[in-house]
Amino acid sequence: MSRHLLPQPGLGTYRLKEQAVIDSVTSALDLGYRHLDSAQMYGNEAAVGKAVRQSGIAREELFITTKIWWDQLEPAALTASLEQSLDAFGLEQVDLALIHWPSPNDEVPMADYLGALDACRQRGLTRHIGVSNFTIAQIDQALALPGGEHLVTNQIEVHPFLANRALVEHCQAKGLEVTAYMPLAVGRVMEDAVLKRIAEHHAVTPAQIALAWVAARDIIVIPSSTKPEHQKANLEALEIRLSDAEIAEIDGLDRGERIADPDFAPTWDQ
Given a contact cutoff of 8 angstroms between Cβ atoms, the answer to whether 231 and 31 are in contact is yes
Radius of gyration of the chain (CA): 18
**Cα separation, 244 vs 183, whole angstroms:** 20
Exposed/middle/buried for residue 268 (C-beta within 10 Å: 0-12, 13-18, 19+): middle
Given a contact cutoff of 8 angstroms between Cβ atoms, the answer to whether 263 and 167 are in contact is no
3-state helix, strand, coil in the chain (%, to 5): 50, 15, 35
Element (H, E) at 151: strand 151-157
Region label for 225, one of left (φ > 0), alpha (ψ between -120 and 50) or beta (otherwise): beta
Distances, alpha carbon 233 to alpha carbons 131, 206, 211, 230, in Å? 28, 11, 10, 5
The total of other beta-carbon atoms located within 10 Å of residue 127's CB is 15
Is 33 a residue of the active site? no
Classify 124 as helix, strand or coil: coil
* Closest of 49, 38, 46 to residue 15, by C-alpha: 38
- Catalytic residue, candidates 33, 42, 113, 181: 42
Catalytic residues: 42
